[in-house]
Amino acid sequence: MKKIIGCLVIILFVLGAFLWAEEARVLRFPDVNRDLIVFVYAGDIWSVPITGGEARRLTSHVGLELFPKISPDGRWIAFSAEYSGTRQVYVMPSTGGLPRQLTYYNDVGALPPRGGFDYQVLDWTPDSRQILFRANRTPWGPRMGRYFLINVEGGLEQPLVIPEAGGGSFSPTGDQIVYTPISREWRTWKRYQGGRAQDVWIYDLKKNEAQRLTTYPGTDQHPIWYKDKIYFVSDRDLVLNIYAYDLKTKEIKQITHHTEYDVLWPSGEGGKIVYENGGYIYLLDLETEKYHRVPIEIHFDNPNLMPYFKNVKDNITRFDLSPQGKQAVFEARGEIFTVPAKEGVTRNLSQTPGVREIFPTWSPDGRYIAYYSDKTGEYEIYLFDRQTRTTRQLTHGSHIWRFAPLWSPDSTKLLFSDKNQWLQFLDIQSGKITQVDRAQRFEITHYAWSPDSRWIVYTKDGENGQAAVWVYSLETGKPRQLTDDMYQDFQPVFSTCGRYLFFLSDRTFNLTFSSFEQDYLYTKATKIYAIPLTKDTPPLFQERIEEEEISPTDQGKKKVDKKQSPD
């Protein structure tokens, strides 16, 4: 009995520890070799056994340490860091220790998010003697890079003959490189098929010959060479997954089948690949082609996760005024605030540090404040009732971006459009959504209510791409086009009396000529125009005619003789 109780205690203890442990997320740029995984978390490099568990912190500099790569012999970790003030390539023991700087050529400085980082470590030569990295040293742009090799003992880096490149890795023999001639790993364009779409190539360093492997019009990137196969990431099934290209049969086979999140930054040695997916790290065995998530725990005093106070006055991105102008509602840093115009207190209506609220708008009767929140994982419309001090979710099942909502003057409906090109309105009491109209090519972003809340005016593109003014009747449920698409019409609004429609239009042609080229230029094309909405609506400006009056003359007047003075 004592043994049984002891076993139960142990089981409960282990189960409790397992349930209590929180799996870490937002783990980036992983690499694997043998029984060790390295990755980046919170700008530092960490290591963890291949089976997962509690990670060990290897770097702690205030800068960003990125792109760790384990050498094939397992002794070293190459990475890029900012210890010296600029980003450079460093190396340290795989068990941790003092980093040693290998490169000294200044980086290009901070780049926009889609430009990524300079000094991106990519791979090691098979003999663990040299490190392959990509540096932004091309004469045609600071975001473009080329390959360099640096010896693990230091010295001058050696440029490879490939003129421009993205991701890449060595063949098992080290005399070839599988690579992408274009770098687009940092650009988050979904299902992109434009001029910067990547293909996988092989470059023979001895023969100076290049061979193209893939011709898919979308994205093929992050190639890794293992035995007779090239593993790479592609969005052939709309989500980035790992595929294998067989060098013998030239057939392509899908290996992973993620449907929610993209496969990002795969890397590895010795028949194993680790990659990001949804913030977690997954391990792929190339022999069995099976993959699973690696459970990783991180325990340290992360200052970025500590709560703190912040003045958000410089983070205001949207605002609206109360009907009487006594208060304003602001969106700042994902929170909704009301602020008095003169006296009073500032209130945080949302108080959700882990949720983002956007597009606050005050109802005309002053009772409600509507806004979007991503509390459910997608942006839905919420309604804050100032009378009852309660918040209610109005929409459900959103799956696409919505533009800012607009209250009807009677405070019963919200008008909005979305990236599916639909214009629609929501009844705040019933929750019913009514579709108004759908554009052909461009989203409907200009819309307004009539003063009596019975009509909606908006602009929609025509067959030729030009936008025209349309109106929609809530009584009949039918849209009607008011202007043709000969000109670009936009930003329509009703007059406060509801009898006129004002809009902007590019229909003024001020022809001039360039001072340097034989080109026609049309400037200041936009003017304000008005439309009377009924036949009996008087003209907005009464016609005024001025004519020259005829001045009186001496003709026809009775002549008066002048009296002669006496002699």
Would the pLDDT of 407 be above 50?
Answer: yes
Cα dihedral angle (130, 221, 294, 40), rounded to 10 degrees? 60
Would the pLDDT of 242 be above 60?
Answer: yes
Would the pLDDT of 17 be above 70?
Answer: no
Would the pLDDT of 404 be above 60?
Answer: yes
Q: What letter would DSSP give residue 559?
A: P
Q: Return the CA Rg of the chain.
A: 34
Question: If you classify domain 309-399 with CATH, what class do you get?
Answer: mainly beta
Pick 52 or 354 by higher pLDDT. 52
Would the pLDDT of 217 be above 80?
Answer: yes
> How do residues 345-394 score in pLDDT, each as one tens digit?
999 999 998 899 999 999 999 999 999 999 999 999 999 999 999 999 99
Give domain limits for the chain.
21-303, 309-399, 411-540
Residue 356 CB neighbours (<10 A) = 16
Identify the three-state secondary structure at position 83. Answer: coil
> How do residues 529-548 score in pLDDT, each as one tens digit?
999 999 899 988 888 888 88
- Give the span between the Cα atoms of 55 and 45, in whole angstroms: 10
State residue 13's pLDDT score: 40
State residue 21's pLDDT score: 61
Query: Could you tell me the strand order of the sheet in which 272-277 lies?
Result: 264-267, 272-277, 280-285, 290-293
- Give the span between the Cα atoms of 54 and 491, in whole angstroms: 57
3-state SS of 51-82 is CCEECEECCCCCCCCEEEEECCCCCEEEEEEC
> How do residues 154-177 score in pLDDT, each as one tens digit?
999 999 999 988 999 999 999 999
Q: What is the amino acid identity at position 94? A: S
- The answer as to CATH 3.30.413.10 being correct for domain 21-303 is no
Would the pLDDT of 20 be above 70?
Answer: no
In the structure, what pLDDT confidence band is assigned to residue 190 with cuts at 50, 70 and 90?
confident
- Decide: pTM greater than 0.85: no
Q: Which of 109, 88, 86, 110 is nearest to 99 (CA)?
A: 88
Q: Which of 460, 437, 452, 480 is nearest to 364 (CA)?
A: 452
What average pLDDT does this structure show over 469-488? 95
- Give the span between the Cα atoms of 489 and 131, in whole angstroms: 58
Yes or no: say if 540 and 554 are a contact pair by the CB < 8 Å rule. Answer: no
Q: What letter would DSSP give residue 271?
A: T
Residue 235 CB neighbours (<10 A) = 20
Residue 158 CB neighbours (<10 A) = 11
- Give the span between the Cα atoms of 529 and 544, in whole angstroms: 19
Q: How many residues does the chain have?
A: 567
Give per-residue burial for 174-205: e unless 16+ CB within 10 Å, then b. bebbbbbbbbbbeeeeeebeeeebbbbbbbee
State residue 9's pLDDT score: 39
Would the pLDDT of 7 be above 60?
Answer: no
State residue 541's pLDDT score: 85
State residue 194's pLDDT score: 93
Yes or no: say if 80 and 31 are a contact pair by the CB < 8 Å rule. Answer: no
For 113, phi then psi, to 5°, come to: -50, -40
Mean pLDDT across the chain, nearest whole number?
92
Give per-residue burial for 92-112: e unless 16+ CB within 10 Å, then b. bebeeeebeebbeeebbeeee
- Give the span between the Cα atoms of 5 and 135, in whole angstroms: 62
State residue 565's pLDDT score: 46
State residue 8's pLDDT score: 38
State residue 554's pLDDT score: 59
Would the pLDDT of 232 be above 80?
Answer: yes
Q: Of the ranges 15-24, 304-313, 323-332, 370-379, which one carries the lowest mean pLDDT score?
A: 15-24
What average pLDDT does this structure show over 98-111? 95
The CATH homologous superfamily for domain 411-540 is YVTN repeat-like/Quinoprotein amine dehydrogenase (2.130.10.10)
> How do residues 381-397 score in pLDDT, each as one tens digit?
999 999 999 999 999 99
Q: Which two tokens stand for residue 44?
A: 């530092």
Q: Which residue in the block uniquely carries the two structure tokens 């600029």? A: 86
State residue 36's pLDDT score: 98
